[in-house]
Structure 1
Amino acid sequence: MIGDRFRVEGRVAVVTGAGRGIGAASAVALAEAGADVALSARTESQLDEVAERIGKLGRRAVALPADLSDPDAAAALAERAVAALGRLDIVVNNVGGALPRAFLDTEPAHLENAFQFNVGNAHALTRAAVPHLLAAGGGAVVNVSSVMGRVAGRGYLAYGSAKAALAHYTRLAAFDLAPRIRVNAIAVGSVATSALDIVMSDDGLRAQMEAATPLHRIGDPEDVAAAVVYLASPAAAYVTGSVLRVDGGTDAPNLDLGLPDLEGPR
């Protein structure tokens, strides 16, 4: 049955940013597909709630709180996951982000921090995970990138640059780690997570964003979680180095931040 290829029975995944939103949905979806899951984020109480949901599915889950802005803490997750759950087969690099800023308000340090948080820490965990993935017979890495790594819009210089770098990191890492480890990414569009709380609570902003999205809706975390399961499972056994769009068809920013043109001598 083709549906069996989407199962990840007996495998262990580590998911970062797993306390809420896309990370939590991905962790639960992987458990529903048969995996045991190591969960990491800063807030232990959120991780405990997700772990409880996974436990009710009959799978094992362990909460591994960490400050994932620290590359050493990110790297340590691989060993912690194996110590808790016995092996490691799947890595989901979900944690990331950067605040929007106007061009002249974006310091070089903002770019450096965005790159480290979105790319450097993903690399730290992936690099540490490689020996464990190989010991388990191979594995899959899924990186969560963004539509802003592909399209241009004002205010997203640091975030978009970092997510574009993560997308190309995915392609390069896929070559480095083939054939035994597959590396893919998801370019996520506007999804109803805490990052969009302002939009979701404002009918006007939400209507603007929905109208500017070809599918005329904002995504659910489960939309992304389904793609995570696919890329992590044998269903994607012949897929590596790919960036899968889960963005409602977006080809331009669907929310105008209202940043004006620069003023200068005329």
Structure 2
Amino acid sequence: MTHQDNFSLKGKTAIITGSGKGIGKAIALAFAEAGANVVCVARTQADIDAVAEQASQYGVKSLAVVCDVMDESALNALVVQTLEVMGQVDILVNNAGGARPGPAMSVSGEQLTRDFEFNVTTAFNLCRIVAPHLQAQSGSIVNITSAAARYSQKNFSSYGTSKAALDHLTHLLAAEFAPTIRVNAISPGAIMTEALEQFLDEASTQAVIERTPMKAMGKPEDIANAAVFLASPAARWITGKTLEVDGGAESTPWPF
């Protein structure tokens, strides 16, 4: 295998949740450029149709599947449809997730439970559903967590807790699924996405940049490049690890 082949995903099929926008979209397109057939998953048909169309321009097969990851029956249907169209599944990227920041005193127990379900339970369910098919392909899973899982900061009690759980779930599943399925995570720091732009004005953006050792905001492509690496043969001896892609920030760069 050549050095270039080590970073190729040619002949692989990847499911990427939350791939209508932002980090998920960047991962889907990077995978397609690396040669993978991609299954773009989100709740908004128009978004994933556009990403799937863009991905197909790299000469790969693409599929857009509308799916609410909170619905376990929809996750089962997603995998069935993927196998019918693509014939196999080699890579799963659990990217769908999120939670609004806010003071702990304003977060209800119901909201905490819902955030946990969105960020952890959905990923666990899809891992469990896809695992037998990944095992047949010696495949891999990449979970997208967050630097909020390890930063001590205000207003992230629910989101940070759920992402920390996803981090540890990654390590536990890696131990259980080895040696046939590799399971890793990527922990993004401050990534400039459409979702984040609405919270930051020019002054707060500059403050984040100043508090980040690399003196720049991250881009979705930075996470996508890390995902290509972890899903590729180049990472064949890596499992149960969380790759921190955060510009070197060892504590929160948020100025709030």
TM-score range (shorter-chain normalised) is over 0.9
Q: Matches of 1:124 and 1:75 in 2, distance apart?
A: 9
Larger of the two Rg values belongs to structure: 1
Corresponding position of 1:115 = 116
Q: Matches of 2:76 and 2:241 in 1, distance apart?
A: 24
Q: Matches of 2:72 and 2:237 in 1, distance apart?
A: 30
Corresponding position of 1:183 = 183
Superposition pairs for residues 131-170 of structure 1, below 5 Å?
131-136=132-137, 138-170=138-170
Q: Matches of 1:91 and 1:76 in 2, distance apart?
A: 15
Identity %, equivalent residues: 41
Structure 2 length normalisation: TM-score? 0.97
Shift of 1:66: 1.1
Code of the aligned partner of 1:25: A
CA 1:199–1:98: 2 relative to 1, 3 Å: closer
Corresponding position of 1:252 = 251
Number of residue-to-residue matches in the alignment: 255
Shift of 1:79: 2.0
Shift of 1:199: 4.6
Q: Matches of 1:22 and 1:234 in 2, distance apart?
A: 22
Code of the aligned partner of 1:178: A
Q: Matches of 1:71 and 1:144 in 2, distance apart?
A: 19
Q: Matches of 2:75 and 2:158 in 1, distance apart?
A: 21
Equivalent residues of 2:146, 2:163 under 8 A apart: yes
Q: Matches of 1:135 and 1:251 in 2, distance apart?
A: 39
Superposition pairs for residues 29-178 of structure 1, below 5 Å?
29-136=30-137, 138-178=138-178
SS in 1 for 2:48: helix
CA 1:199–1:210: 2 relative to 1, 3 Å: farther
Per-residue CA deviations over 1:71-129 (Å, capped at 9, x if unaligned) read 33234322221112110000000000011110111111121111110110001111100
Equivalent residues of 1:149, 1:161 under 8 A apart: yes
Q: Matches of 1:187 and 1:17 in 2, distance apart?
A: 16
Q: Matches of 2:75 and 2:32 in 1, distance apart?
A: 22
CA root-mean-square deviation: 1.1
Equivalent residues of 1:68, 1:121 under 8 A apart: yes
Superposition pairs for residues 3-22 of structure 1, below 5 Å?
3-22=4-23
The answer as to 2:196 corresponding to 1:196 is yes
Shift of 1:203: 1.1
Per-residue CA deviations over 1:145-182 (Å, capped at 9, x if unaligned) read 00010111000000000000000000000001000000
Corresponding position of 1:260 = none
Code of the aligned partner of 1:48: D
Equivalent residues of 1:141, 1:182 under 8 A apart: yes
Q: Matches of 1:150 and 1:72 in 2, distance apart?
A: 32
Equivalent residues of 1:174, 1:184 under 8 A apart: yes
Corresponding position of 2:229 = 230
Shift of 1:131: 1.2
Shift of 1:252: 1.6
Structure 2 unaligned regions, length at least 5:
none
SS in 2 for 1:79: helix
Q: Matches of 1:75 and 1:100 in 2, distance apart?
A: 31
Structure 1 length normalisation: TM-score? 0.93
Equivalent residues of 2:35, 2:58 under 8 A apart: no
Corresponding position of 1:25 = 26
